[in-house]
Structure 1
């Protein structure tokens, strides 16, 4: 049990046996005391402004559609940035590199890890 509720006295609630059994199983599944489980449930409903009597179907579908629209908008923004900013900038940089040293193309450069096998002493 939570420390701040440790000194509070217990109160009795009258609930049906079948409901109590379900609630106890649910509390054990959450690894919390029954009081903390009930408090968490009440806080959840209060924070999310949800009534246990209303259906969640349409609200959840609306929320899902809203999230999908926002994700699609973010994807569109990223594609636009790549198309209008990144690719032209990359093209400008590549053309600057080629004009600075046209003999030293990307394809003709030797990397540090590549061996020069034209040397006659290479295989000795």
Structure 2
């Protein structure tokens, strides 16, 4: 069986510790041992400030993410979409209109003139 020892704390501090211990640990001894181990292994003092809290870090990250999203939307509107549209228009498969050469145009006009006509047979002649 373990031996217990009494330590004197102020009443307010003892109540805070008991509430904390009840919510996170099975016993007060386990709570105190875990807290002491935390400070020992991480080589920090409980009087040191660890820097910004999780909430302040989250808020600053949200601001940065929103700024990045705004930059990406602007890039998409001003750069990406117009570039894609130009590339698509370049690679669309459309048949080019055949423009006759100047020389071919004269030959076509000459061919349109009819030199010979077929003789039409009248049925009444027979």
Give TM-score, length-normalised by structure 1.
0.40
